[in-house]
Structure 1
Amino acid sequence: MRSKAHIKTHPIHPMLIPFPTAFLTGTFLFGVLSFFTGKDDLWHAAGYMEAAGIISALIAAVPGIVDFRYTVPPDSSAKKRAAKHGIINTGMLLVFITAFLIRADEISLWVIVLESVGMVMLVVAGWMGGTLVHRNQIGVFNRYADSGKYQEAYAVIKGGIVEAGDVNELKNDQMKLILAGKKRIVLGKTEGEYVAFDDRCSHKGGSLAAGVLICKTVQCPWHGSQFCVNDGSVKAGPAKEKINTYTVMEKEGKLYIKV
């Protein structure tokens, strides 16, 4: 699903995280080398890299927080994983900040021990981040044949009705995500018919708006579960529970969803 913090659909967070990863890894390696060789130059270089790593990590955290808040689907396995990813990264950063603050001109084993702990946390957090991208496709902007541009709109629920857009806004097998309060509803057009359903796979909470809609079937991008968009029934697992569907009404060239 497309990142909310992006440059021309390219997510910013993955662009920035190589910098703190490289700087903090270099900090640890140079610290270890200085400990075994006794070279002060390596120790001082490690200190400069640590400062650069901390600053770049704080900068990289900003688009990461934006994605956590606005991109990762709520009530999903990815949301829980992203929360753990953020907590471990915060702990890792605090460890490196502590090591930097107690760092002196003399080579210190205690600083290296702290940085070792920070490195373990960095690896674990990085593994979780990779899972969020490659398995949960956070920031991955997948499109398929004739899917058109990704569409998203905010709406207000009035009397149980949501205005979803114009009648001619979508072509066949295209989708649009409607954000109405706490509800995330997908408006789609398939086989010449307008349909609407929850933007949540019943398996692990993946965003169906980021999936594929073909022949009245929507497929989740995470694990491939397929649902009938007319009644929400499961057509292919691993999902076992149906998704919620809604009635789409047309009036004076506008589409409305009854929720």
Structure 2
Amino acid sequence: MTALGPLTTLTDRIERLTRLDEPGKALGRTIRKAVSAGAVKDALSGTWLGHPVHPPMTDVVIGSFVGASVLDLVGPDDGRASRRLLQLGLLSAVPTALSGASDWADSELGDERVRRMGLVHAGSNVLALSLYALSLAARRGGPSRAGSALALAGSTVLGASGFLGGHITFVRGTGVNQTAFDVGPSDWTDVIDAGDVLRDGTAFAMAGETPVVLGRHRGQVFALHDRCSHRGCALSDGEVEDRVITCPCHGSRFDVRDGAVVRGPATATQPVLDARERDGRIEVRVRQPGR
């Protein structure tokens, strides 16, 4: 068994915990109902930043808590700096948890493994935060060995939870741009009869291995990658109004002219392809620089 074997076994076991499905589905529905598409959803998703907001926010939480433990070992005797860092970590954990919950709720329907792992990840974070809160309470009268021990215990739990969170992102692909590794054909590729691309609505086609959604805007054919950059849903199942196409799953909206995000929760621009009509057929290719 390799050095990573025990960790892989742990994640596999968590992902097979079917007993987590019912509470996970219920929680996911509640979160999606409470945080629907709009300004709050965009803020929690990081649409305004052009990047998911949850990962950098976790750095603030982790850095504050770990910094407190470091100061416990090497800092001044009065312990005020450690207390301030614990307070910062606890306060910043609230918006961090909200952004993570919003991201998870958009993903748990599509992957039961993410649903189960996300619940364990969240439960571990609650335990870690409880330990840090107890650590802060133990320091009210000044430096405390119990407070330091509780903070170290919190760091241990937080580290394990961070591993599970990394698994959700890097192994299961939650929160990453779903089109990052599929930009489309570099050469003009025939995809569909021009008559099938109507003025109203969308058409679906394959450009080699790349799924494409096509339509018409002011008489001109547009083409975008069909897999939504947010969670991979088919944009061809959505609606087009004027210059905006709306994802049917989570409500992200993109400008068909350049793929710009008009409304989240998507954070990454939707890939746009050049399109032309030739001999009654539509051809597409990766958008060329300067277009």
TM-score scaled to structure 1, two decimals?
A: 0.54
1:137-176 counterparts in 2 under 5 A?
137-143=173-179, 144-146=182-184, 166-168=201-203, 172=207, 173-174=210-211, 176=226
Paired with 1:185 and 1:101, the residues of 2 have a C-alpha distance of: 46
Paired with 2:85 and 2:53, the residues of 1 have a C-alpha distance of: 22
* TM-aligned CA distance change 1:112 to 1:55, over 3 Å: same
CA displacement at 1:109 relative to structure 2:
1.0
Is structure 2 residue 42 aligned with structure 1 residue 6?
A: no
CA displacement at 1:188 relative to structure 2:
6.9
In structure 2, which of residues 56, 60, 81 is the aligned counterpart of residue 19 of structure 1?
A: 60
Per residue, is there more strand in 1 or in 2?
Answer: 1
Residues 49-107 of structure 1, C-alpha deviation per residue, up to 9 Å, x if partnerless?
10001111112111101011123444521221111111100111111112112212432
- What is the percentage of aligned positions where both structures have the same residue? 18
Provide the residue aligned with 2:140 in structure 1: 104
When structure 1 is superposed on structure 2, of 169-178 and 111-120 the one drifting more is 169-178
Paired with 1:171 and 1:129, the residues of 2 have a C-alpha distance of: 34
Paired with 1:30 and 1:94, the residues of 2 have a C-alpha distance of: 20
* TM-aligned CA distance change 1:73 to 1:136, over 3 Å: farther
Paired with 1:185 and 1:62, the residues of 2 have a C-alpha distance of: 23
Provide the residue aligned with 2:218 in structure 1: none
Residues 209-248 of structure 1, C-alpha deviation per residue, up to 9 Å, x if partnerless?
xxxxxxxxxxxxxxxxxxxxxxxxxxxxxxxxxxxxxxxx
Provide the secondary structure at the position in 1 that maps to 2:203.
coil
Q: Which amino acid aligns with 2:81?
A: A
RMSD: 3.1
Provide the residue aligned with 1:130 in structure 2: 166
Paired with 1:102 and 1:169, the residues of 2 have a C-alpha distance of: 61
CA contact (8 A) 2:46 2:53 kept: yes
Per residue, is there more helix in 1 or in 2?
Answer: 2
Paired with 1:106 and 1:62, the residues of 2 have a C-alpha distance of: 32
Provide the secondary structure at the position in 2 that maps to 1:174.
strand
* TM-aligned CA distance change 1:137 to 1:63, over 3 Å: same
Q: Which amino acid aligns with 2:70?
A: L
Provide the secondary structure at the position in 2 that maps to 1:17.
helix
Is structure 2 residue 67 aligned with structure 1 residue 40?
A: no
CA contact (8 A) 1:9 1:141 kept: no
Residues 149-207 of structure 1, C-alpha deviation per residue, up to 9 Å, x if partnerless?
xxxxxxxxxxxxxxxx92436664326579xxxxx975779xxxxxxxxx9xxxxxxxx
TM-score scaled to structure 2, two decimals?
A: 0.49
Provide the residue aligned with 2:156 in structure 1: 120
Provide the residue aligned with 1:220 in structure 2: none
CA contact (8 A) 2:107 2:114 kept: no
Provide the residue aligned with 1:214 in structure 2: none
1:1-259 counterparts in 2 under 5 A?
5-7=45-47, 9-34=50-75, 39-41=76-78, 43-143=79-179, 144-146=182-184, 166-168=201-203, 172=207, 173-174=210-211, 176=226, 186=234
Paired with 1:98 and 1:44, the residues of 2 have a C-alpha distance of: 16
Provide the secondary structure at the position in 2 that maps to 1:166.
coil
Provide the residue aligned with 1:218 in structure 2: none
Q: Which amino acid aligns with 2:57?
A: L
CA contact (8 A) 1:47 1:100 kept: yes
